[in-house]
Amino acid sequence: MPSKSKTPKNRLRIIQLLIIVWLLAICARLVWLQVKEYPNLSARAERQQQASIPLTPMRGVIYDRNGNELARSSEVKSLYAYPNQITDAQLIAPRLAKILDLDKDELLKRLKASDKVCVAIKRKLSDQEVAQVDALNLQGLRYVNEMKRQYLNGTTAAHVLGFVDVDEKGLSGLERYFDQTIRGQEGKMTVTFDALKKPFDHEIEKSVQGANIHLTLDATIQHYAEKALREGIRRSNARGGTLVMMKPATGEILALASYPTFDPNDVSDSTDLQKRNRAIETAFEPGSIFKIVAYSAALEEKLITPNTLINCGNGTITINGQKIQDTHPHSSLTATQALAQSSNVAAIIIGQKLGYERLAQYIERFGFGQRTKIELPAESRGILTNVKHWTPTIPIGYGISVTAVQAAAAFSCIANGGTWVQPHLVKQITSTYGEIISEPQGERHRVISPDTAATLTSMLEGVVVRGTAKAAKIEGYRAAGKTGTSKKANGKHGYMAGKYVASFAGFAPVENPEIVCIVSIDEPVGAYFGGDVAAPIFAQAVSHALQIMGVAPENAVESSFVAGGVKTFEVPQLVDERPLLSQTPAANQGVAQAAKASSAPPTPNAEAPANHNPNREADDKEAQNVHQASGEILVPDLNGRGIREALALCASRGLKLQANGEGIVSGQSPPPGTYVTKEVICRVRLVRTMQKKSPPARDPKKPPAAHAQATATRAQ
C-alpha cells in the first residue's frame, strides 16, 4: 500500500509540468508571431494605421536641337478625401461632382467607404477646379502635389514626343521609348491614423527627377513641315500622310510629321488613326521612288551609264505573262531620260541586267527589309520577301513595302556620297545638373561609291528639272529627287481600285545637300501622281527649312565676291565671252584652239583608245541624237583646264559656269558626259596645283622630239 504522503507530491509535480508546458507553448507562440508572422502582422497594422499615396516623380525635360522645351512636367494638385471625416456625403457629393465633372453616384460611394482611410476624388486638377473646391470650404478633403506632363506646342511633334498616362508612365513615342530614363524614381507620402482613423502624422519620401532628352528635331522646321503636310493633304482630300526630313551627313532627324494628328495634352478623344505614327509604323509599296536602288546598283556595277540607251518597247513589257506599262510610252530612252520620265519598262530591264540576287544585296545595303533602329517604339521593318518569291515588279517598287524613314535614309545615302547613316532623333541625354549621360552614335556603312552617288544625283536632278517632279523645284536652290505613285494593296494579293499612295523623295541643295525629305500621301482624291500631290509639299517644307537653317540660295548671282578668303566667279550668261578673253593674241588663240578641239569630231586616222568599244560608241551616238532632239546639252570634261578654257568650252555649248577657288579645275558637277538643260549651272572647283601625274610612256614609233612636243601639248 503506497504512502499517503506521496500523493500531494505527485499532484504538485503534475501541476508544475503543466505550467512548464503552458509556458513553453506561450513562448513558442510568441516566437511564431514575432518571427514567422511578423511581416504579415506588420503589414496589417500598417494598413489599419497608415495610408500611402504614391508621388509621381518629375519627368525629364525634352528639348529640341536649339534648347527649346517641347515637353516638361509641372506641379499640380490632386484631391483626396478621408471618409471618416466626411459629415454629410449626401450633400457634398453633388456639389463636388458638378465642379469636377464626375459621376455623382460613383463619388457618393467613395465618400461613404468607411472601411478605407483615404480615397482619391480626382487627380491633377486644373487651377480653376482648385479654386472652386476651395470656395466650398469642406472638411475631410486634402490636396496632394503631383506632376503633370505638359506639351508646350500642342500638336507639334505629337507623334515624336508621344504621351503619358495619369501616373506619368510613357505610352507612346519618345515618352515610351525612354520611359525608364525620363521617368525618374517614384516617391510616396505615408499618413498615420489613430484608432478613430483620424490622421495625426505623415511622412514624405521625395521622388527623384528623371534625365533630360535633347533632340535633333528643330521645333520651327517641324512646325512648317506639319503645316505644309496638313495643307497638302487637305488640298488633295487625302486620307492621311507623312513627312520625314533629315540631315544626310549626320542622320539627324529635323522633322517627322504624320497627319491626322492629335494633342498629347488630351488624348481622350483621339482615335488610333490619329495616334498612328505613319513615318515608322505604316509600310507602303514605294512605287517609283524605289527605282533608285536598281539604278544605283546598275551604275555601281558598270552595267549602265547615264547615256546608255534603253529600248522601252513603246511603253510595254511582258514578263511571265505579266504585262507592265509606262504612263507615257517611249520607244527608246537614255538611262537619264528613263529615270526622269519614270519609265517602268526601263527600270525592269535594268533589274533584269542586275539579276535578283545582286539586286537583293543592294536592297539590303540600302536598309530596306530591316528596322532603322530609330528611337521610337513600334517601328515596322517593312515587307521584303525571299528572292525565290519575287516578282518582276520589285525594281519598280511593287511587291515590297517600306517605311518613310527607311526611304529617307536611302535617299540620304545618295546625298551623302554613297554612305548610309542611321537616322536618329536623340542628340544627347543629360542629368538634371546638365552632365552628359550619353551621346548616341548612329551606325554607318558604304553602299555605293562617291562617283556613283554623284552620277545618280545628277540624274535625279534631271527628274526635277525636266522630268516628273517639276513641282518639287525650290526657288533659289537646286533640288534632286524621285516621284513615286503606287496602287494600294488590299492584303489579298491584289490592289484596291482607285486607291493610291503618292510620294516624292529628294534632297537640296544638290551641290552640298543639307536636307533630305520624303513626303508620302495616302489615298489622294483626284490627282494622284507623286509629282502632282507630294512634290509641292516637299518644295514648300524644304524651302522653309533651308531658310530657317540659314542656307544661302545657290542661285544668288554676284559677279565676284570674297568669302572666307576664297574668290568665287560666277558667269550667269555666256552668250558672248569675248570680254573674258585675254588681251594677248596668243592667249586668245589658245582658247579658241581648245574650244575648236573640244567640239571637232575625231579624225579617221586617230588612234582608238585601249578601251575602244564600237558598240558603245554607237549607243552614245544614238543617245546624243535623242538628247539633241530634246534640246539637252552634253557637259564637257573640264578637269585639268584653266578657268578661261573652261569658260570657253561652256560658252560654246551654251552652259552657265560657276567656279570656286583659283587655279585649274580639279572637280566639277554635273560630271562629264551628263546631258543637262541650259538652265543647269555647271560648277567647278579650282586649285592652284594639281596632283603631279607620271609622264606618259614614250611611243617607240615617235622620235624623242615628237614625244616631248606631245607631252608639252597635254601639259598646256
Per residue in 355-379, pLDDT (tens digit) is 999 999 999 999 999 999 999 999 9
Q: Which residue, among 219, 197, 198, 207, has the nearest Cα to 62 in the 3D structure? A: 219
Residue 707 has pLDDT above 80, yes or no: no
The C-alpha atoms of residue 323 and residue 474 are separated, in whole angstroms, by 37
Confidence of residue 664 (pLDDT cuts 50, 70, 90): confident
What single letter denotes the amino acid at residue 9?
A: K
Alpha-carbon gap, residue 252 to 245, rounded angstroms:
9
Angle at 13 between CA 7 and CA 18, to 5 degrees: 130
Q: In degrees, to the nearest 5, what angle opens at C-alpha 539 toward C-alphas 533 and 543? A: 155
- pLDDT higher at 600 or 57: 57
Give catalytic residue positions. 288
556-567 residue pLDDT tens: 433 322 223 333
Which DSSP string do the residues of 72-101 spell out, in sequence order?
Answer: EEEEEEEEEE-GGG-S-HHHHHHHHHHHHT
Cell triple for 11: 499532484
**Residue of 138, 196, 188, 141 whose CA lies nearest to 167:** 188
Q: Answer yes or no: are the C-beta atoms of 591 and 578 closer than 8 Å.
A: no
CB 213 within 8 A of CB 182: yes
Which pLDDT score, from 0 to 100, does residue 648 have?
A: 74
What is the per-residue pLDDT across 590-645, written as a single tens digit (0 to 9) for each?
333 333 333 333 333 333 334 444 444 444 555 555 556 567 788 888 888 877 77
- The pLDDT confidence band at residue 197, using thresholds 50, 70 and 90, is low
Assigned C-alpha cell, 444: 554607318
Q: Which H or E element spans position 705?
A: helix 704-715
Domain borders along the chain are 52-152+182-215, 219-262+276-708
Helix or strand run (H / E) with residue 628 = helix 614-629
Q: Strands 681-687 and 656-661: what pairing?
A: parallel
Is pLDDT at 516 greater than 90 in this prediction?
A: yes
Cα 294 to Cα 395: distance, rounded to the nearest angstrom: 6
pLDDT at 478 over 80: yes
Query: What is the Cα–Cα distance from 468 to 464, expressed in whole angstroms?
Result: 7
Mean pLDDT of 43-65: 78
Q: Is 701 helix (H, G, I), strand (E, B) or coil?
A: coil
Per residue in 329-349, pLDDT (tens digit) is 999 999 999 999 999 999 999
In 3-state terms, what secondary structure has residue 133? helix
Lowest mean per-residue pLDDT among 48-57, 179-188, 465-474, 543-552: 48-57
- Residue from 541, 507, 594, 538 nearest 218 by CA: 541
36 in Cβ contact with 164 (< 8 Å): no
DSSP per position, 227-279: HHHHHHHHHHT-SEEEEEEE-TTT-BEEEEEEES---TT--TT--HHHH--HH
Would you say the C-alpha torsion 40, 42, 45, 50 has a positive or negative sign? negative
Residue 714 predicted with pLDDT over 70: no
Report the predicted TM-score, pTM, of the whole model to 2 decimal places: 0.73
In this structure, are residues 305 and 335 in contact, taking their beta carbons and an 8 Å threshold?
yes
Biggest alpha carbon distance in the chain? 163
Query: What pLDDT does residue 45 have?
Result: 64
Structurally, at CATH architecture level, domain 219-262+276-708 sits in 3-Layer(aba) Sandwich (3.40)
- How many CA atoms, within 13 angstroms, populate the side-chain half-sphere of residue 602? 7
Structure confidence by residue, pLDDT tens digits, 14-40:
888 888 888 888 888 888 877 777 777
pLDDT tens digits for 101-114?
Answer: 999 999 998 888 87
Give 518-574 pLDDT, tens digit per residue: 999 999 999 999 999 999 999 999 999 999 999 988 754 333 222 233 333 333 333
Choosing among 3.40.50.11270, 3.90.1310.10, 3.40.50.300, 3.40.50.620, the CATH entry for 52-152+182-215 is 3.90.1310.10
Higher-pLDDT residue of 506 and 586 is 506
Query: DSSP string spanning 505-551?
Result: EEEE-SSS--EEEEEEEES-SS---HHHHTHHHHHHHHHHHHHHHTP
Q: Which of these, 495, 463, 185, lies nearest to 338 by C-alpha position? A: 463
Query: Taking 70 as the threshold, does the pLDDT of residue 213 lie above it?
Result: yes
pLDDT at 186: 78
